[in-house]
Amino acid sequence: MTSHYFIATMRPISEFHEKENNAPFISGEAYKEELPFTMPYVYEVGGDNIEFISFLDDFMQLGDVVEQYIYEEGRNGIALSENFPEEAITINLLNKTYKDQFGEYQLDSKKWKEDLSRRTIASKRSVTTFMKS
């Protein structure tokens, strides 16, 4: 089984393909048909949660939305991931809130990146939506 972490954006992230950027991005166009995204630019992402959250905080502008999803391949390329919209997670980086099917939570304003990195921010069962509004 192979797991791929994907994000979808409204604008390309080519300016982040520089040597000093620690977050690796690979085009996810080959998987685009399999993914439940609504955004046009798809990338496969590597790195840990705190690094990814820091990237999003720097990359996203006011009003931006980024979607994230884990795609798991089983044998012969058959997807093991399923999309259950009722389990979707929404994270607002501006207001520092985390919302899942159980409720909405305010993150600590001083250590919100650490708080968020300890929560589930990606799933093979639903799309996570990051927003900055």
- pLDDT digits 0-9 by tens, 52-76: 899 899 999 999 999 999 998 877 7
Residue 104 has pLDDT above 70, yes or no: yes
Helices (DSSP H) in 37-108: which residue ranges? Answer: 49-59
Q: Evaluate if pTM is beyond 0.75.
A: yes
Residue 80 has pLDDT above 90, yes or no: no
CB 112 within 8 A of CB 95: no
Place of tokens 């990359």: 59
Number of C-alpha atoms within 13 angstroms, CB side, residue 89?
20
What spatial distance separates the first Cα and last Cα of the chain, rounded to whole Å?
Answer: 36
Question: Residue 34's pLDDT is what?
Answer: 87
**pLDDT band of 87, cuts 50, 70, 90:** very high
Question: Residue 15's pLDDT is what?
Answer: 55
Place of tokens 């006011």: 62
Q: Which domain holds residue 37?
A: 2-131
- Domain count across the chain: 1
Question: Residue 2's pLDDT is what?
Answer: 81
The model's pLDDT over 13-56, given as tens digits with 9 standing for 90+, comes to 865 554 555 556 788 888 888 899 999 999 998 767 888 899 89
- Residue 51 CB-density burial (10 A; 0-12 exposed, 13-18 middle, 19+ buried): middle
CB 29 within 8 A of CB 42: yes
Highest-pLDDT range among 3-17, 27-41, 97-111: 97-111
User: What is the rounded distance in angstroms from the CA atom of residue 66 to the CA atom of residue 90?
Assistant: 10
Taking Cα atoms as reference points, which of 109, 121, 131 lies closest to residue 50?
Answer: 121
